[in-house]
């Protein structure tokens, strides 16, 4: 058995645990147009003006690439975010920055955020990409690989193809998540931000950029920043949705009955609720296929978010005890404090039932304790989102008796 050192946390399949932070922190990976400024390094940016100053010497790029689009959109919705430029050739083409390049920078960039700031990078967005190597690295990092401790959710985009829209409606069986993993949120389509005078799309960005920022925006509005609200059914300030295939843009009506079929495949997209009121649509992780999932832990994005939140908090709370004597008092203190926190999440409406923290003898044997290895278990049920609500109405003629008087 390999020697263990440090403090770790993980989601137990079919059970419940998860990393937590006080504030959701979004990290965007992509290419900044025509520059290798800050190559491979994570930079904390507080405004779009600061982004343009740092990456483009104060001049907004005429043909923005993925990182530029991420900054412009995200920093109009949230107060700050982290950005990693992976354009090592300083090219002005998105294709010049390969998935392998981004994957190569990802681990060190995310670790640097943990090492050099108090932020916990629990949301990672990699727009436009479906590269196998990159997605593998993203999943590895999201599942506790960030600095070997932190968990995160990854926001990615589905590949776009001309056969995905027919007569203005989505063709659900042509839209697939590029990776079926519960730590990922797969987004479909480009969000239209502006229109030309003739009504055609003027400006649009990959959906993952908008939804990752909207998720962080919602988390900040939640009680104690706990990410208990699903990404689904949140108002989005936009003009519609389209796909872009080799420069040809095709718009989608986003009718609710049609979009329902799309989101059952573990996709998050957009819905038009009438009068051009646009909302995010879909509360599943990428692990869901045809409405089914192998492990219920990974059905809803909000379930994963809360569990990861709890795990990340455990790491932040107890990281300093490593190499200290694990007295019985300290053991009991950890159990009691974790139990108090679980109770507070229940009171907040995030958990339901009887959440509990346990120090189990089955996990903690004389052998493991003798090696200084201690295992705690948080067992909890996250409140599910109201995915489907039905009202049945039944007619009765009993009330007609009111017309009859003696």
* CATH numbers and ranges of domains, the chain: 26-301 (3.40.50), 323-406 (no CATH)
Task: Select the more confidently predicted residue: 224 or 109.
Answer: 109
Give the pLDDT band (50/70/90) at residue 10: low
* pLDDT of amino acid 325: 94
Give the pLDDT band (50/70/90) at residue 144: confident
Scored b (16 or more CB within 10 A) or e, 182-193 reads: bbbbbbbbbbbb
* pLDDT of amino acid 115: 92
Give the pLDDT band (50/70/90) at residue 18: very low
**Which residue, 169, 163, 168, 175, is CA-closest to 257?**
169
Give the pLDDT band (50/70/90) at residue 265: very high
Which residues lie below 8 Å from residue 389, measured CB to CB, with a gap of 6+?
A: none
Residue 392 has pLDDT above 50, yes or no: yes
Pairing mode of beta strands 165-166, 169-170: antiparallel
Give the pLDDT band (50/70/90) at residue 280: very high
Q: What percent of the chain has pLDDT over 90?
A: 83
Taking the C-alpha atoms of residue 163 and residue 253, their distance in angstroms, rounded to an integer, is: 15
Mean pLDDT rounded to a whole number for the chain? 92
* pLDDT of amino acid 204: 96
> Cβ of 153: how many Cβ atoms within 10 Å?
23
* pLDDT of amino acid 344: 94
Q: Tell me the pLDDT tens digit for each residue of 191-217.
A: 999 999 999 999 999 999 999 999 999
Residue 270 has pLDDT above 70, yes or no: yes
Lookup result for tokens 């007295």: 327
* pLDDT of amino acid 239: 96
Taking the C-alpha atoms of residue 267 and residue 260, their distance in angstroms, rounded to an integer, is: 10
* pLDDT of amino acid 70: 98
Mean pLDDT of all residues in 19-36? 84
User: Per DSSP, which regions of 55-189 are E strands?
Assistant: 81-85, 123-125, 153-157, 165-166, 169-170, 184-187
Lookup result for tokens 């509005």: 221
Give the pLDDT band (50/70/90) at residue 16: very low
| 271 close to 188: Cβ distance less than 8 angstroms | no
Residue 242 has pLDDT above 90, yes or no: yes
* pLDDT of amino acid 145: 86
* pLDDT of amino acid 13: 43
Q: Is 257 buried (19+), middle (13-18) or exposed (0-12) by CB count in 10 A?
A: exposed
What is the pTM (predicted TM-score) of this model? 0.92
Which residues lie below 8 Å from residue 292, measured CB to CB, with a gap of 6+?
A: none
* pLDDT of amino acid 8: 59
* pLDDT of amino acid 320: 84
Which residues lie below 8 Å from residue 281, measured CB to CB, with a gap of 6+?
A: 232, 233, 254, 256, 259, 262, 263, 268, 269, 270, 271
Residue 333 has pLDDT above 50, yes or no: yes
Give the pLDDT band (50/70/90) at residue 21: very low
Q: Tell me the pLDDT tens digit for each residue of 54-73.
A: 999 999 999 999 999 999 99
Residue 254 has pLDDT above 70, yes or no: yes
* pLDDT of amino acid 406: 62
Which residues lie below 8 Å from residue 374, measured CB to CB, with a gap of 6+?
A: 326, 331, 359, 364, 368
| 150 close to 144: Cβ distance less than 8 angstroms | yes
Q: Tell me the pLDDT tens digit for each residue of 167-197.
A: 999 999 999 999 999 999 999 999 999 999 9
Q: Tell me the pLDDT tens digit for each residue of 119-128.
A: 999 999 999 9
Mean pLDDT of all residues in 11-32? 66
Give the pLDDT band (50/70/90) at residue 53: very high
């Amino acid at each position: 058995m390999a020697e263990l050192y440090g403090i770790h946390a993980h989601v137990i399949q079919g059970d419940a645990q998860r990393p937590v932070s006080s504030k959701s922190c979004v990290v965007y990976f992509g290419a900044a147009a025509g520059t290798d400024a800050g190559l491979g390094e994570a930079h904390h940016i507080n405004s779009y003006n600061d982004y343009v100053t740092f990456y483009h010497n104060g001049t907004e790029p005429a043909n923005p690439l993925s990182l530029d689009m991420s900054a412009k959109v995200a920093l109009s919705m949230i107060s700050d975010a982290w950005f990693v430029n992976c354009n090592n050739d300083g090219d002005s083409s998105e294709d010049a920055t390969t998935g392998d390049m981004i994957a190569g920078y990802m681990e060190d960039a995310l670790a640097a955020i943990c090492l050099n700031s108090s932020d916990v990078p629990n949301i990672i967005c990699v727009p436009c990409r479906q590269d196998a190597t990159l997605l593998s690295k993203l999943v590895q990092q999201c599942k506790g690989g960030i600095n070997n401790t932190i968990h995160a959710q990854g926001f990615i985009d589905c590949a776009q193809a001309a056969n995905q829209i027919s007569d203005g409606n989505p063709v659900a069986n042509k839209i697939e998540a590029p990776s079926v993993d519960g730590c990922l949120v797969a987004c479909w389509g480009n969000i239209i931000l502006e229109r030309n005078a003739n009504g055609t799309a003027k400006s649009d960005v990959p959906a993952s950029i908008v939804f990752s920022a909207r998720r962080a925006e919602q988390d900040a509005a939640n009680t104690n920043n706990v990410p208990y609200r699903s990404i689904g059914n949140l108002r989005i300030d936009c003009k519609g949705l389209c796909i872009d295939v080799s420069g040809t843009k095709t718009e989608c009506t986003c009718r609710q009955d049609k979009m329902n079929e799309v989101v059952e495949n573990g996709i998050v997209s957009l819905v038009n609720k009438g009068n051009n009121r646009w909302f995010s649509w879909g509360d599943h992780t990428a692990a869901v296929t045809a409405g089914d999932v192998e492990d219920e832990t990974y059905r809803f994005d909000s379930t994963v978010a809360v569990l990861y939140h709890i795990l990340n908090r455990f790491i932040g709370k107890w990281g300093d005890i490593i190499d200290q004597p694990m007295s019985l008092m300290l053991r009991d203190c950890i159990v009691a404090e974790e139990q108090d926190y679980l109770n507070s999440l229940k009171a907040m409406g995030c958990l339901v039932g009887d959440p509990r923290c346990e120090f189990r003898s089955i996990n903690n044997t004389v052998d493991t304790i003798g090696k200084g290895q201690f295992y705690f278990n948080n067992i909890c049920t996250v409140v599910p989102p109201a995915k489907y609500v039905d009202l049945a109405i039944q007619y009765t003629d009993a009330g007609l008796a009111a017309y009859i008087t003696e």
